[in-house]
């Protein structure tokens, strides 16, 4: 098995032979032990810099606005009647469909979002009522996906790479448990980074209901990166 310098590697670890989709220099042994214990859904490590987001009541950055540098569990409480557009000056941020950080999730990285469908890949709802800074551990990323709950069944390991289609790398769309070993990730229910978004901060997720999914379906995943280590600081979809 050869390695290609300069590329990350996605390994599919199953009960049958290893499938290598991409290579990195050197050998990468599978880790059988659990990563450093961390509660799922909680952020860890230091901030990658200051956080600032500007939220506007109307589309195209018009109307009443408010600037935030910390979490806000209810944007409509004495701030805005609704959210029509967003400018992220430094981040990243995680927004939610409902108050108190509940409901569908939306990752907001550095850039402009002139209307609601710019931040919602599922186009399920135009509601955005709470948001918080999304803390990043460091520059390295490693994610383990499992076919069944409690980290059982077929396993896929993703290291320092974005994967627009799990199927293309020999895995299936059923993902029932996850270990985020390093970094912060976002998964999508459809290929090409489309559909509902699910954020995985460093920790263990033994069942899909721990990331607020209704079913164990995940078809693409990518890294969320911070300006401290990645100066562009944002993901550009095609």
Contact predicate 65/57, CB 8 Å: yes
pTM: 0.75
Whole-number Å distance between alpha carbons of 13 and 159? 13
Q: How many domains does one find in the chain?
A: 2
Whole-number Å distance between alpha carbons of 62 and 65? 8
pLDDT for the residue 124 = 77
pLDDT for the residue 8 = 39
Residue 17, domain extent:
9-23+138-224
In a domain, 85, yes or no: yes
In a domain, 28, yes or no: no
Which of these three, 105, 133, 161, is where a domain ends? 133
191-207: average pLDDT: 96
**178 with 199, same domain?**
yes
pLDDT digits (tens, 9 = 90+) for 89-119: 998 999 999 999 999 999 999 999 999 999 9
188-213: average pLDDT: 96
60-82: average pLDDT: 93
**Two tokens, residue 46:** 């230091």
In a domain, 31, yes or no: no
Q: What DSSP string runs through 62-81?
A: EEEEEEESS-BS-TTTTT-S
């Amino acid at each position: 098995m050869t390695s290609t310098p300069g590329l990350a590697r996605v390994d599919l670890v199953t009960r049958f032979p290893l499938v290598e989709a991409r290579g990195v220099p050197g050998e990468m042994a599978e880790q059988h032990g659990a990563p450093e214990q961390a509660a799922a859904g909680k952020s860890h490590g230091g901030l990658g810099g200051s956080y600032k987001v500007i939220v506007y009541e109307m589309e195209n950055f018009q109307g009443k606005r408010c600037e935030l540098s910390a979490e806000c569990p209810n944007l409509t409480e004495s701030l805005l009647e609704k959210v029509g557009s967003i400018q992220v000056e430094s981040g990243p941020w995680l927004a939610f469909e409902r108050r108190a950080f509940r409901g569908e999730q939306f990752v907001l990285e550095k850039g402009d979002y002139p209307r609601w469908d710019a931040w919602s890949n599922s186009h399920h709802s135009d509601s955005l009522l709470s948001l918080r800074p999304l803390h990043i551990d460091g520059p390295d990323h490693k994610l383990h996906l499992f076919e069944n709950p409690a980290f059982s069944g077929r396993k896929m390991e993703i290291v320092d790479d974005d994967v627009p289609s799990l199927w293309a790398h020999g895995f299936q769309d059923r993902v029932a448990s996850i270990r985020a070993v390093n970094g912060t990730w976002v998964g999508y229910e459809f290929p090409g980074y489309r559909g509902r978004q699910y954020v995985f901060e460093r920790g263990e997720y033994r069942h899909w209901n721990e990331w607020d999914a209704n079913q164990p379906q995940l078809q693409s995943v990518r890294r969320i990166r911070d300006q401290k280590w990645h100066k562009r600081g944002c993901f550009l979809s095609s």
